[in-house]
Structure 1
Amino acid sequence: MKEALSELILREIETLKNLLMLLEKQHELYLEKNIFGLEDIVKKIENANIEVAKIEVERRKLEGDKSIKILVKEIDDDSLSKNFDDMIQLVHNVKSQNSINQFLIKQGLLFANKMLNLFGRNKNVKTYNAYGKVSK
């Protein structure tokens, strides 16, 4: 049980590292305004997410009803505990990078939509009002 759990955690660490690397690459591509690169990396990120999910399912089958934290404490192995802590840290880093990327992409989309609305179909003159908003 210990060896199987340790192996699954190590596999999950590797896939999480790959996912984090892809998310960091997505961040770089966004900052470079490389639209085609962003398009390509989305599929790679989806595949990495699928791999993480598969390993997670395998791990949960192995755990049964117990929580992974409780199981790691019960096994009481230093290398397993260290690997588990590394995995938790990687999950935190992946979530953080993902939220940063989502924020930047949403911000860019909002800007693009506002610009499209300014130059859109409405032929009326657009001006700023006293509050700094565009009035129609």
Structure 2
Amino acid sequence: MIEKLNNIMKDEILSLEKLLGALDKQHEYVVKNEILKLEKVVEEIEECNREIAKWEMERRNLTKGKTMSSIVEELKDMEIEKNYRKMRTLLEELNVQKDANEMLIKQGLGFTTRMLQILNPDRSAKTYSPYGKMK
């Protein structure tokens, strides 16, 4: 069981590293405003997610629903512990990269929306609030 779990964890780590690479590409394309390349990266990200889910299901079937931290404590195998720590680190990096990409995309959408409002202003009658601001 230890050897099989270790192999599954190694495969999952490779999949997580591929996903991190795809998110880095996405970040680069968002910064450079390369919209067409962004669509290709989305497919790559989805493929990486499917692969990670496959490995995670295999790992969960092998561990029978136990948490990984308890399994690492029980087995006291140095290689499994090292792989577990590496997985945790990669997951944190993935979370940070995902949040950064989402923030950049939202900023870009906000900027685009604002530019569209400037280019195509609302033609309805303007009224003033009690504070002198236009509604």
Change (3 A) 1:76 1:15: same
Q: Is the counterpart of residue 69 in structure 1 residue 69 in structure 2?
A: yes
Distance 1:66 1:124 in 2: 61
Distance 2:81 2:97 in 1: 24
Distance 1:125 1:97 in 2: 44
1:29 to partner: Cα distance? 0.9
Could you say which residue in structure 2 is the equivalent of 1:78?
78
Unaligned runs of 5+ in 2: 127-132
- TM-score (normalizing by structure 2): 0.88
The 5 A counterparts of 1:31-70 are: 31-70=31-70
User: Over the residues paired in the alignment, what is the CA RMSD in angstroms?
Assistant: 2.0
The 5 A counterparts of 1:88-107 are: 88-107=88-107
- TM-score (normalizing by structure 1): 0.88
Distance 2:65 2:36 in 1: 44
- After superposition, what is the alpha-carbon deviation per residue over 1:20-74, rounded to whole angstroms, capped at 9, x for unaligned? 0000011011111111111111111111111111111111111113111101111
3-state SS in 2 of match to 1:113: helix
Could you say which residue in structure 1 is the equivalent of 2:15?
15
Identity of aligned residues (%): 39
Unaligned runs of 5+ in 1: 127-132
Distance 1:62 1:120 in 2: 58
Could you say which residue in structure 2 is the equivalent of 1:114?
114
1:125 to partner: Cα distance? 9.8
Distance 1:29 1:122 in 2: 32
- Between Structure 1 and Structure 2, how many residues are aligned? 130
Distance 2:117 2:46 in 1: 32
Distance 1:24 1:115 in 2: 27
